[in-house]
Chains A and B, each alone.
Chain A
Amino acid sequence: DGGITQSPKYLFRKEGQNVTLSCEQNLNHDAMYWYRQDPGQGLRLIYYSQIVNDFQKGDIAEGYSVSREKKESFPLTVTSAQKNPTAFYLCASSNSLTSGNTIYFGEGSWLTVV
């Protein structure tokens, strides 16, 4: 079945450690996105990529890094520089939004930093 797979679903890490969240899609979408959700807040865009080997910062990119070496994959690294990393992270993908396409989401990853 086509879709977006995020892993792991739950992750616990000690403060000061970098962690990488995986996101893979088999929908043949050009664009991929990482969003973060905190209680009482909407989905906030961390990074997005419109094409392989290219990505742009979203609204809250500080303390995060990404890569887009393959069309199917868009991993997110939460670095030790991210001050409040504990959150719910959603990966998404789409074809061109300018063509009226919608975004498809993964099931999310819960990251807890202790």
Chain B
Amino acid sequence: ILNVEQSPQSLHVQEGDSTNFTCSFPSSNFYALHWYRWETAKSPEALFVMTLNGDEKKKGRISATLNTKEGYSYLYIKGSQPEDSATYLCAFKGSNFGNEKLTFGTGTRLTIIP
């Protein structure tokens, strides 16, 4: 079973502050790294799919970076708003032939304090 770790497990951030958290994954047999946002009582929704070392993706105030050589990705949220409160999941896809599955981390639960 692959080891995909996220830290911290939970985070409380004041509204307006910026924050970031980490996803660590195996640096060998890498194919893609996904980020999902999971709001309470809703389904997880995709934020980014990242495939290239050094990749940076941005969606509004949220951005992500990828380092495949050392096996980590950072998710950044600039100027946190209450609607950013959610659990953020990363998921690793390996490059093994025929491997069509994602291995998820345990998530970072973000709470924005108004």
A107 (CB) vs chain B CBs: closest residue: B43
* A108-B43 contact, Cβ under 8 Å, with A41-B106, A102-B34, A102-B49: yes
Listed residue (A98, A106, A107) with the most chain B CB atoms within 10 angstroms of its CB: A98
A contacts, CB < 8 Å to B:
4, 31, 33, 35, 40-45, 48, 50, 56, 58-59, 90, 96-98, 100-108
Can you list the 9 inter-chain pairs with the closest CB atoms, starting with the nearest? Answer: A102-B46, A42-B106, A105-B43, A43-B104, A42-B104, A105-B44, A50-B100, A59-B1, A107-B43
* A42-B4 contact, Cβ under 8 Å, with A102-B34, A102-B49, A105-B43: yes
B100 touches A100 (CB 8 A): no
Chain B residues touching A, range: 20 to 34
**Which chain B residues lie closer than 8 Å to A106 at the CB level?**
43
- Docked pose: A100 CA to B100 CA in angstroms: 11
B42 at the interface (CB under 8 A from A): yes
